[in-house]
């Protein structure tokens, strides 16, 4: 046993504390070659330094710092996407009061928009998610005026020219059409301000309601407006993999 092994913590204990698996199940994962430490296959009985060693299970990063937290929030309409508003308007801080750590929001939604935002104190991951080079897809449900014809559909997928450059939808799906309105699902990978609303205005389909339902691998699911849930270790690992960490 080398000095690093002698001084570290048993790998299966670290995996158990991180919520990945029980110690016995962690030993099984190690035996089956599912665990890597610093890019190398892990060994049964191996000791690691949770503060320095990088651990992956089945290709997904394991977060071993117990003080690092990750949450999803369903931002209600009318709430400011900030943790501190000088004008005293209702902000995300009101909904994060139950979180012991000081967190910040990853990206933003405009005041009139609703849905999924991420809260964390992991600066490295947040920077990767927001950086344009990673282009995490974001999925929205938009209530728009009018019924879209095929030409408009194709235009959105091909791209339109906005005042700050071209923009396009990666995917489109019609959810419902009724009384001269359409409910659509639109997937877009960039994060320019008001990008979905501006994109739809350009094709004369004004957005009356906008809800973000997905950011990369993280889904809103049945999270109620104004509520928060902690991301699972699996979700955090998927986020890390999406941004190359």
Show which residues are catalytic.
110
Backbone angles phi, psi at 129, to 5 degrees: -60, -40
Residue position matching structure tokens 């927001």:
130
Rounded CA-CA distance 132/242 in Å is: 13
């Amino acid at each position: 046993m080398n000095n690093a092994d002698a001084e570290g913590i048993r790998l299966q204990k670290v995996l158990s504390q991180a919520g990945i698996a029980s110690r016995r199940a962690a030993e099984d994962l190690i035996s089956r070659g599912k665990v890597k430490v610093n890019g190398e296959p892990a060994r049964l009985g191996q000791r690691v330094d949770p503060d320095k060693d990088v651990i992956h299970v089945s290709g997904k990063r394991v977060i071993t710092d117990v003080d690092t937290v990750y949450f999803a929030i369903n931002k209600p309409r009318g709430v400011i996407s900030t943790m501190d508003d000088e004008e005293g308007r209702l902000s995300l801080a009101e909904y994060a009061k139950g979180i012991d750590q000081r967190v910040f929001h990853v990206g933003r939604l405009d005041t009139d928009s609703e849905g999924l935002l991420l809260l964390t104190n992991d600066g490295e991951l947040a920077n990767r998610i927001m950086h344009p080079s990673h282009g995490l897809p974001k999925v929205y449900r938009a209530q728009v005026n009018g019924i879209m014809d095929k030409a408009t559909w194709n235009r959105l997928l091909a791209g339109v020219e906005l005042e700050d450059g071209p923009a396009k939808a990666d995917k489109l799906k019609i959810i419902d059409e009724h009384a001269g309105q359409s409910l659509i699902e639109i997937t877009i990978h960039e994060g320019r301000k008001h990008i979905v609303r501006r994109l739809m205005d350009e094709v004369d389909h004004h957005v009356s309601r906008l809800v973000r339902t997905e950011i990369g691998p993280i889904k809103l699911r049945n999270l109620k407006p104004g509520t928060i849930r902690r991301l699972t270790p699996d979700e955090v690992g998927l986020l890390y993999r999406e941004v190359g960490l």
